[in-house]
Amino acid sequence: MSTPARHTDSAPTLATVAEEAGVSRQTVSNALNSPDLLRPDTLVRVQQAIDKLGYSPNRAARSLRTRSSQLIGLRVDPAVEDTANALMDRFVHSLVESTEVAGYHVLLFTAGADDDANEPYDALLRSAAVDAFVVTDTFRGNPHADWLSRQGVPFVAFGRPWDEPAAPHPWVDVDGRAGVTLAVDHLVERAHSRIAWVGWQKGSLIGEDRRSGWVARMHEHGLSTSRLSARGDDSLEFGQRAAHALLDVSPDDRPTGFVCASDTLAMGIIRALADRGLVPGHNLAVVGFDDSIAAQVCTPALTSVRQPLEQVAVEVVRFLGELLAHRPIENPSLVLTPTLSVRATS
């Protein structure tokens, strides 16, 4: 088997393999990159030499020559502990798996303490450390997308360019509006008619999109939305306050169902209900958004809209492949539909 401490020895190179197989360096290179160029018997001979020596091409050398690092940059923001961040975990896992299938790896970086949040993107690209980026900004729009586009930086976004629907870069997004529609339908089926919305400020276009699903579907069901909407920041505290405010009205006006822009807000509502000695379930329902781990393990378990992150990752990587191969993408945008994970709170 392998010698101990082998990794302190010098590794075999193309030249080593070539000598072992009795061919030239280029032939070994071809055996790896375009095997169909070789005569079958030569290919076998080279393969045996490669296996015998345990050879793997040096990525730095290949990268230098081909001008491609086979790395995809992904920015991870400073660790804010909330449910949305935990959501990224699922996405990152899927992304890593998908990129590997395509022969790439994922490189993580942060914005650092720098004033200019674009700087790290530029630096990584200038030094040819990565071939492209995956940009994710799920809460508000993509502040970087615009700048990156103008700079000619290759990237694919998770999240659509709200401010500029005709943006040229490829993107994949989840239909938040459709997700909320699912939630409303679900509560209507459960005989709820006064269904409230607890979401984000008007500034968040994602928030407005999700909210629009509530407004539209409520009206389609012939239900009123008046005085049933609350807007604030994405915090448990706001969810809690909003629920209390919505419930502090005459009994007939009280909502019996809550649809939220995030699981964090939904958790706040559950806490507000607990403050009042209430538990969501049959008569009172709460639906979150993101299907975070917290939604799954809390008691009672939270019904939540689940984004198909695995599929998002796959599609993002597909776009990346096209982009890096300089193939034109006929339809560089894709909207996927979420599902509803029904649990105890509804």
Stretch that binds a second copy, among 29-37, 69-77, 174-182, 328-336 (CB under 8 A): 69-77
Q: What are the angstrom distances between the C-alpha of 340 and each of 178, 198, 213, 224, 324?
A: 10, 18, 14, 23, 35
In the Cβ-directed half-sphere of 333, how many Cα atoms lie within 13 Å? 14
Taking the complex as a whole, the smallest distance from the CB of residue 26 to DNA amounts, in Å, to 3
Taking the complex as a whole, the smallest distance from the CB of residue 222 to a second copy amounts, in Å, to 33
- x/- map, 6-45, DNA, by CB under 7 A: ----xx-xxx------xxxxxx-xx-xx---xxx--x---
Q: Which of residues 54 and 203 has its CB atom nearest to a second copy in the complex?
A: 54
* Cβ-based neighbours of 238, under 8 Å, separated by 6 or more: 232, 265, 268
**Closest alpha carbon to 143 in 121, 175, 172:** 121
Stretch that binds a second copy, among 31-39, 70-78, 189-197, 200-208 (CB under 8 A): 70-78
Q: Which of a second copy, DNA, none does residue 297 bind to, with CB < 5 to 8 Å depending on kind?
A: a second copy
200-221 core/surface letters (b: 16 or more CB in 10 A; e: else) = beeebbbbbbbbebbbebbeee
Stretch that binds a second copy, among 24-32, 97-105, 184-192, 314-322 (CB under 8 A): 97-105
What's the length of the chain? 346
CA-to-CA distance for 175 and 187, rounded, in angstroms? 19
Tell me: does residue 61 bind DNA (CB under 7 A). yes
**Closest alpha carbon to 343 in 289, 301, 280, 287:** 301
Question: Phi, psi (5° rounding) for residue 186?
Answer: -60, -45
Q: What DSSP string describes 54-73?
A: T----HHHHHHHHT---EEE
Tell me: does residue 276 bind a second copy (CB under 8 A). no
Work out which of 40, 78, 168, 328 binds a second copy, going by CB under 8 A. 78
Site for a second copy in 134-193 (CB under 8 A): 150-154
CA-to-CA distance for 91 and 95, rounded, in angstroms? 6
Name the amino acid, one letter, at 291. D
Work out which of 27, 30, 94, 138 binds a second copy, going by CB under 8 A. 94
Tell me: does residue 130 bind DNA (CB under 7 A). no
Taking the complex as a whole, the smallest distance from the CB of residue 325 to DNA amounts, in Å, to 13
Q: Which of DNA, a second copy, none does residue 8 bind to, with CB < 5 to 8 Å depending on kind?
A: a second copy
Taking the complex as a whole, the smallest distance from the CB of residue 2 to DNA amounts, in Å, to 18
Stretch that binds a second copy, among 37-45, 125-133, 136-144, 246-254 (CB under 8 A): 125-133
Q: What are the angstrom distances between the C-alpha of 251 and each of 109, 166, 245?
A: 52, 47, 13
Q: Which residues bind DNA (CB under 7 A)?
A: 10-11, 13-15, 22-27, 29-30, 32-33, 37-39, 42, 55, 57-58, 61-62, 64-67
